[in-house]
Structure 1
Amino acid sequence: MRFATWDDGNAVTAGVVGDEGLHPLPPDTAVLDLVGAGLPAAIEAGTQALSRPPVPLADVRLLPPLQPTAIRDFVAFEEHVEGVVMSVGDGSGVVPEWYEAPTFYFTNPYPLYGAHDDVPVPPGSALFDFELEVAAVVGRKVASEPPERLRDAVFGYTILNDWSARDLQRREMKVLLGPAKGKDAATTLGPWLVTADELERFRDDDGFLALEMRVSVNGVEIGRDLLSNMGWPFEELVSYASRGTTLRPGDVLGSGTCGNGGCLAELWGRRGGLDPAPLRPGDVVEMSVEGIGTIRNRVVPGLDLPPVRPARPRSRARTRPS
């Protein structure tokens, strides 16, 4: 089942995606409410919604399918790390620590964009980039649980575009922090949330979801990969994220960017230059993931803000002037 959230110009509504359009859930019901209720209850509510008259997709603006309680974004594709280290970091190759355990960062859960929204360039960035990912939405409370008990912990999946200001990210990572402002401006989630049972048919013998992932810019394909090329399946990511803490229903875990052109920075690193060119206003980024759907966002100009002031020279005085 596919759950969506949309704006028809008068109200924001949650519902189910059917063959003839969007079937609304009862008023004041959010997709996050269904996630918290659990998959069986959500499917029952969705089945009831399918009996209601549909709203044509063309008549609404798709919003992110839910407002996550938190977003953790992993870096689970070895091939992506290889290329990006050459582009954003210092040196080349994958550090041994990457293989020891999954690594993630917390990203901003508020500047979310829908499947067809315009996305502004972050202030001060000249190296704007996309990142093709799949996000898993946690469906129940998880606290320090082993992966073999977590097949039922994922409610569903959606596409995640982790928009990235690479020039801001480079500066932050040279200070051994971040990414922070380099990832702070925009995240696209969509087009809808596909329940986990819908994608079980893609699971391979090793427990990975073998979904084909593609991304293009202005109609030209830039990257293509399989989600099953992740270093860890989502159950391992959920387990690691829950170690010593608690995940809540609605938490989002990003797979990290796929390889083979899942972002521009990977290709910049491998090719030794800005090839393809960074994103510019007017560019259209389209991402498709098998079994989930397609998102398509146009890049638009962002805010023109004054430059950031550098740190002032500091003394090492230990006492106040008398």
Structure 2
Amino acid sequence: MRFATVEEPDGAVRCGVVVDDVLHRLPPGTRILDLLRTDTLLEVGRSALSARDTVSLTEVRLLPPLEAPTVRDFVAFEEHVEGVRRSVEGEAGVVPEWYEAPAFYFTNPHSLIGAHDEVAVPPGCAVLDYELEVAAIIGREGADLTPAQARSHIAGYTIFNDWSARDLQSREMRVGLGPAKGKDFAGTLGPVLVTADELEPYRDADGFLHLAMTASVNATEVGRDLLSNMGWPFEELLAHAARGSRVRPGDVLGSGTCGHGGCLAELWGRRGVQQPPPLRPGDVVEMTVEGIGVIANTVVEGVVDTDVPPVRPARRRDRQRP
């Protein structure tokens, strides 16, 4: 099944099952996150299909499919790491540590937006970029999972655009803490949550989901890859996330950005020039993932920069009260 959360013209938020371009509404007040927590997603979805309480998707605004408690974003595509490291850090190759274990960072679940929402340029950013990913949605709580156990803990998948302010990211990552404000402003999740069973026919002999992924800017394709080019399948990403820790229903695990133009920074790193140029207001970024759907966001002007002033390096450091 394919589940969506929408805002209706009267402002009401409803969830439902998507069939073609029609939303079969779940009962008012029903949330996808609650259904995951009670393990009733498919049961309630089947009931909605028989109830025939419907609305066209053309009449509503798509929101993120669920309210995600946490978002872990991995960096699982080697080709992406090669290009972006050269672009952001000015270094060639892939660090040896990348091959030892799948790395991830936590990003802001409160900044997630819907499949067709506008994206405002964050304050202080002059180098805006997109990042084409697929995200797994956790359906069952678990800790210290093996990859074999992890598969049954994945409820479904969706598209994730992990928008990046590359100039902010490049500056702050020199401090050694990873991306922060460079990733804090927006992340597109949508258009729907596709339950894991629907994508099983795409699984290859090595356990990867063989899904075509494309990205375009202003209707010109700039990126194309296969999800199966990940260094680790989602089950191994989940096992790593749950190692010595715990995952819960609704948690989002991003695949990391695909290669071959999955973001502009990768292309800049390989070409040595910012071509295509950074995103600017008016640009439309569209992403398509086989078996899941399409998201398309328009970049708009952001708010006036209110960055904090820098610390004075030569300031006096007192050790005692005067």
Q: Same fold (TM over 0.5)?
A: yes
AA matched with 2:48? A
TM-score, structure 1 length as denominator?
0.97
Amino acid paired to 2:69: T
Report deviation, 1:318. Answer: 2.3
Report the counterpart of residue 132 of structure 1 in structure 2: 132
Matched residue, 1:49: 48
Q: One-letter code of the match for 1:78? A: E
Match of 2:165 in 1: 165
Q: Is the 8 A contact 2:129 2:263 kept in 1?
A: yes
Asked whether the 8 Å contact 2:129–2:166 carries over to 1, the reply is yes
**Separation in 1 of the partners of 2:286 and 2:255?**
18
Distance across 1 between alignment mates of 2:271 and 2:291: 32
CA distance, structure 1, for counterparts of residue 9 and residue 20 of structure 2: 23
Tell which deviates more after alignment, 84-93 or 291-300: 84-93
SS of 2:206 mapped into structure 1: coil
CA contact (8 A) 1:62 1:114 kept: yes
Superposed CA deviations along residues 155-182 of structure 1, whole A, max 9, x for unmatched, are 0000000000000000111111120110
Name the aligned partner's letter for residue 132 of structure 1. Answer: L
The answer for the alignment partner of 2:117 in structure 1 is 117
> SS of the counterpart of 1:148?
helix
1:255 match: 255
Residue identity in the other structure for 2:46: T
SS at match of 1:82: helix
Is the counterpart of residue 32 in structure 1 residue 33 in structure 2? yes
1:206 paired to 2:211: no
1:190-237: CA deviation from partner (whole Å, max 9, x where unpaired): 001000000000000000000000000000001000000000000000
- Residue 285 (structure 2) pairs with residue 285 (structure 1): yes
Question: Does the 8 Å CA contact 2:4/2:65 hold for their aligned counterparts?
Answer: yes
Report the count of equivalent residues: 319
1:124-163 superposed Cα distances (whole Å, 9 cap, x missing partner): 1000000000000011011011111111110000000000
Q: What percentage of residue pairs aligned between the two structures are identical?
A: 66
Identify the range of structure 1 (173-182 vs 246-255) with the bigger mean alpha-carbon deviation: 173-182
Unaligned stretches of 5+ residues in structure 2: none
Structure 1 residue identity aligned to 2:45: G
Q: Following the alignment from structure 1 to structure 2, what is the Cα–Cα distance between the partners of residues 249 and 134?
A: 17
CA–CA separation in structure 2 for the residues paired with 1:167 and 1:305: 14
- 2-side partners of 1:148 and 1:304: how far apart? 49
| Contact 1:20 1:54 survives alignment (8 Å) | no
Compared with structure 1, are the counterparts of its residues 8 and 271 closer, same or farther at alpha carbon in structure 2 (3 Å cutoff)?
A: same
User: What per-residue deviation string (whole Å, max 9, x for no partner) do you get for residues 246-275 of structure 1?
Assistant: 100100000000000000000111111111
Q: Taking structure 2 as the reference length, what is the TM-score of the superposition?
A: 0.97
Find the residue that maps to 2:46 and give its secondary structure. Answer: helix
Partner letter of residue 199 of structure 1?
A: L
Aligned to 2:225: 225
Letter in 2 for 1:209: L
